[in-house]
Amino acid sequence: MKNPISFLVSFILVFSILNLEAEESFIPDPPSLTAKNYLLIDAYTNKVLAELNAEEKIEPASITKIMTGYVVSDQIKGGFISLDDEVLISEECWRRGGSRMFIQQGTKVSLLDLIKGMVIQSGNDASCAIAEHVAGSEDNFVDLMMRYAEQLGLRNTNFINATGWPDNDHYSSAEDIAKVSSLLINNFPEHYSLYKEKWFTFNDIRQRNRNALLWQDDDIDGLKTGHTESAGYCLVSSGVKNNTRLIAVTLNSSSEKTRLTDNRRLLDYGFRYYRTQKIISRNQSIKEAQVWGGIKEFVGLSPVKDFYLTLPLRDFKKIEPSVILNNHLQAPLEENEVVGKIIFNLGEEEVGSIELMTLEGVEGLGFFGSAWSNIKLLVYRFLREED
């Protein structure tokens, strides 16, 4: 196999960014919080903006229900279950302690109402019923959760139940929680919309969403609270400002009040100093690359998907792009064939990259045409080596 040959190609990108002076960006340290573990990321780029002990294994309490919500959303998307399903409530779920939505044994409740009871009211009984409906039992559902955890790359997570009930072997990390939250938001927006609902009434009992930030800022639309004596006060929240969506995970805060102030200060820090912007779009031709042995001499290159960066606002003006091709492009080429990548640097630091693909296929010239083209390519390579 031939070694890749790198081509650093200068070109002009059209950025949809503010025309700001290229001043040096000064970003202060994150605010001081009572939370013993926290993480602040952009929901789309997963850029880490602030962190403390983010990989430490800790008790997640009811934050666990974010994973329960992710699993049930994916099972619905796969067609295995439906929001309209009527779920028979077992004695086991009816007896479940802790926070509850007050479902009754032997009754049938729609899966949609159970999800609302879990998300809005943090109902352990609702989580239990969801688990039994999806997998037949909570133990089977936990096995499913762990298969998802492995698939999603959750390195510091182990689930014992679907509710977050305390157990020494039940743990996660701020990093893993943020990852699942990001995937839930991006992959299941129709289900994520439930996380911003402030009230839910079931069985004539009206309960408010335990995420008090929903009342403080209309830009915040989720996600979940958690609390036990051993886990402390936990909160995962998300919101959008200036087309930038952030996720803040604060774990083991000292009180219910500081849980809110910790999380809010982390979000305010991120929104004040950072922005996420689309840099280039899929199917946007950013370069014409030479093709050898083809019926066309050049082919347009495009990123494989829309590409975003999260940076301090002034830094967008200073990023420098370069294209690296895997090798000389030789026909035949398929449409959407990955042939290299584009790298973005900020000074000496690489801040992002994305693969490049061909915008169209290119047929070969045939035997004699290809032979002549190969001779020219050999000469071209020889001259470059001489240089």
> What are the pLDDT digits (tens) for 243-264?
999 999 999 999 999 999 999 9
Looking at residue 11, its pLDDT comes to 43
Q: Tell me, yes or no, whether 330 and 296 share the same domain.
A: yes
289 and 265 assigned to the same domain: no
CA 60 → CA 200, 227, 350, distances in Å? 24, 8, 34
In a domain, 112, yes or no: yes
**45 inside domain:** yes
Residue closest to 131 by CA, chosen among 91, 193, 190, 71: 71
Residues contacting residue 133 through CB under 8 Å, at least 6 positions apart: 81, 85, 87, 111, 114
Whether residue 297 is contained in a domain is answered as: yes
* Residue 9 included in any domain: no
Q: Between vectors from CA 246 to CA 192 and to CA 210, what angle results, nearest 5°?
A: 55
28 within 8 A of 270, measured Cβ to Cβ: no
**Domain boundary residue among 274, 304, 333?**
274
Whether 260 is in a domain gets the answer yes
164 in the same domain as 47: yes
Taking the mean position of all CA atoms in its chain, how far away is CA 100?
A: 29
C-alpha–C-alpha distance, residues 301 and 7, integer Å: 14
**pLDDT tens per residue, range 340-375:** 999 999 999 999 999 999 999 999 876 444 554 454
Decide: residue 281, CB within 10 A, 0-12 exposed, 13-18 middle, 19+ buried: middle
Domain CATH code at residue 144: 3.40.710.10
Which one is catalytic: 73, 90, 122, 253? 122
Report helix angle 124-135 to 138-152, nearest 10.
Answer: 80
Judge whether 196 counts as a catalytic residue: no
* 165 and 244 housed in the same domain: yes
Reply yes or no on whether 62 is catalytic.
yes
Is residue 4 in some structural domain? no
Predicted pLDDT at 327: 86
For residues 73 and 217, membership in a common domain is answered with yes
| Adjacency order of strands within the sheet including 298-303 | 320-325, 338-346, 349-358, 298-303, 287-292, 329-330
Q: Examine the domain organization and report whether 92 and 201 are in the same domain.
A: yes
pLDDT digits (tens, 9 = 90+) for 186-211: 999 999 999 999 999 999 999 999 99
What pLDDT score does 17 carry?
A: 41
Provide the domain limits for residue 65.
Answer: 37-274
pLDDT surpasses 50 at 321: yes
Choose between 272 and 328: higher pLDDT.
272
* 168 plus 212 within the same structural domain: yes
Q: Is the peptide bond before 154 cis (omega within 30 degrees of 0)?
A: no
Q: Which of 365, 289, 351, 288 is nearest to 318 (CA)?
A: 351
- Domain total for the chain? 2
Of 247, 274, 301, the position where a domain reaches its end is: 274
Instruction: Examine residue 125 and state whether it is found in any structural domain, yes or no.
Output: yes
For residues 316 and 277, give the distance between their C-alpha atoms in angstroms, rounded to a whole number. 9
Is 80 exceeded by the pLDDT of residue 19? no
Choose one of 246, 274, 302: the last residue of a domain.
274
Same domain, residue pair 114 and 207: yes
Is residue 181 domain-shared with residue 286, that is, in the same domain?
no
10 located within any domain: no
* Whether 77 and 195 share a structural domain: yes
Q: Is the pLDDT of residue 387 over 60?
A: no
pTM equals 0.86
Counting residues of the chain whose pLDDT is more than 90, the rounded percentage is: 81
What CATH number has the domain bearing residue 319?
2.60.410.10
Q: What is the pLDDT of residues 106-165, one digit of tens each?
A: 999 999 999 999 999 999 999 999 999 999 999 999 999 999 999 999 999 999 999 999
Q: What is the pLDDT of residue 385?
A: 52
Same domain, 366 and 246: no
Determine whether 193 is an active site residue: no
Check whether residue 100 and residue 240 sit in a common domain.
yes
pLDDT in tens, 292-305: 888 999 999 999 99
User: 163: closest CA among 121, 117, 127, 114?
Assistant: 127
| Greater pLDDT, 14 or 89 | 89
Average pLDDT over residues 49-63: 98
- Integer Cα distance of 224 and 66 in angstroms: 7
pLDDT for the residue numbered 23: 53
Q: Which of 65, 179, 196, 224 is catalytic?
A: 65
Q: Which of 166-170, 197-201, 268-272, 286-290 is predicted with the least confidence, judged by mean pLDDT?
A: 286-290
